[in-house]
Amino acid sequence: MKNGKVYLIGAGPGDPGLITVRGLELIKTCDVVVYDYLANPVLLESARPDAEKIYVGKKGGEHTLPQEDINSLLTRVAKSGRSVARLKGGDPYVFGRGGEEAEELISAGVEFEVVPGVTAGVAGPAYAGIPVTHRSYTSTMAFVTGHEDPDKNETAIHWDKIATGIGTIVFYMGVKNLPMIAGNLIKNGRSPKTPVALVRWGTTTDQQTWTGTLETIAEIAQREKVAPPTLIVVGEVIELRDKLNWFEKRPLFGKRIIVTRARAQASDFCQRLAEQGATPVEFPTIETVEPESWRDLDDAIARIHEYDWLIFTSVNGVGYLMKRLRETGLDVRDLAGPKICAIGRKTAASAEALGLGVKIVPEEFRAEGILAAIGDVKGTRILIPRAKEAREILPDELGKMGATVDVVTAYRTVKPEGKKADVLRLVREGKMDMVTFASSSTVSNFAEMFSAGELSEIISSVPAASIGPITTETAKKLGFRVVVEPEEYTIEALAGSIASHFSKR
């Protein structure tokens, strides 16, 4: 059997967006992913569904596997013929023991490749507003371990050289030894007034930064109970932090927000929240699936020429209708006849991208706005392909105005399996800041996924953001405290209103 190959991949400093293109490609294709404590678990979602995932993390002296066993694991898996993505925090060759693993692979005759990553020593300070070099401050920098091999007889750090010979010094894994590090630098000639920054969980939304000087930083760290993983940054460049601190000033920085949209539709909303500094916690409460029978939709399509209006109430309605057209050998030309109304710009864009000419996009996304846009509907016939579980408000109002309305099921919504335990843990730890609802069904499904006691815990401590008045009404009936509702009932407006809410606070 031919050996597999091991890829020593730098996972970057924490922000999953900082992984390299090559690294992400390999995570998506390898048979096995062996990952560390500092590798963001979000990256594992890109692995193949059938890929084996093996955690070998080390933190605070707790080792899932000793390094020797990790080396053996990589060799054994590769010799079984499988490809291995060895995912290491930061860069594999910067205090990542990647060199040791590479040596073992060579000894075992296993092919390997190194994929460098963005190291925390540069990225962490950058996200804290600290450039490690700056022409007006320093042109030299050093990365130094703050935790040497305990088996060594003497230190390999030349304190007398780095104390005054290097402008910016970044210590990895050194917060527990901070008094010793500051003391050695001062003893070897560095001014006690030299600025120091501590950056914990750099580049993530859990990032925290403290500043002081060599003579005060140990006391600050003890008072603030600073724990690993924390970088120690020493140098005058820290004076630039107040001016260049971009990451921590974003309106949603450090906020965790539950996104209850269907997974397939959540990515855009999550991205908008993340760009404002939030950590979106995906907890889909709704999933779209095909109807139990296509009979009613097929019949409506066959009689499409009888309708005056075709109203799409969501992107899903467009998608499933067009899917059914393709499956039955038809195309957009077979929808000729009725004028098309699309509720929402996204729905309109989806329809137009598939070749449908949208006549009207109502400015207001409630029944009143739709009726105002369409005009007099008396005597007209209207087709609405939508979810089986949707509310009857729009059809009822159109019927009252004299229209004949045929509502057909284009898709169903069901409740997916959710990570209840993760959500409840974050709520109980006080680490959940908001829950978002993009439809009434996401509210009711969310409520049904928890016991009465669990739901009461969430409602009492986590405020809600709703996309519009109908959703708000449903949420309030269930006891949620809705603090955000945008004037325009779109995902873009919802994300913006959430950012405005926290900015005001």
Residue 65 contacts by C-beta under 8 Å, 6 or more apart in sequence? 56, 73
Q: Do β-strands 287-289 and 404-414 pair in parallel, antiparallel, or remain unpaired?
A: antiparallel
Examine the residue annotation and report whether 58 is marked as an active-site residue of this protein: yes
Distance CA 84, CA 51 (A): 10
Q: Do 283 and 265 meet the contact criterion of CB atoms below 8 Å apart? A: no
Q: How far apart are CA 466 and CA 423, in angstroms?
A: 19
* Residue 434, φ and ψ in degrees, nearest 5: -165, 150
Asked if 261 and 420 touch (Cβ cutoff 8 Å), the reply is: no
Q: Is residue 470 a contact partner of residue 393, using CB atoms and an 8 Å limit?
A: yes
Say which DSSP state 432 is in: -
Q: What are phi and psi of 229, to 5 degrees?
A: -85, 120
Q: Which of 5, 15, 28, 36 is catalytic?
A: 36
> What whole-number distance in Å separates Cα of residue 162 and Cα of residue 338?
77
Instruction: Mark whether 173 is an active-site residue.
Output: yes
Distance CA 332, CA 310 (A): 13
Helices in 153-205 by DSSP H: which ranges? 159-165, 178-187
Rounded distance, CA 466 to CA 487, Å?
A: 11
* Torsions phi, psi for 478 (to 5 deg): -90, -5
- Pairing assessment for the beta strands 141-145 and 482-484 based on DSSP bridges: unpaired
Q: Looking at 58, 176, 323, 476, which residue is catalytic?
A: 58
Phi-psi region for residue 235, left (φ > 0), alpha (ψ -120 to 50) or beta? left
SS3 97: coil
Distances (CA, A) of 433 to 289, 421, 428, 492: 31, 17, 11, 19
Cα→Cα distances 466→252, 390, 472, Å: 17, 17, 6
| Interatomic CA distance for residues 145 and 247, integer angstroms | 26
Q: Which of 5, 79, 173, 346 is catalytic?
A: 173
Catalytic residues: 36, 58, 173
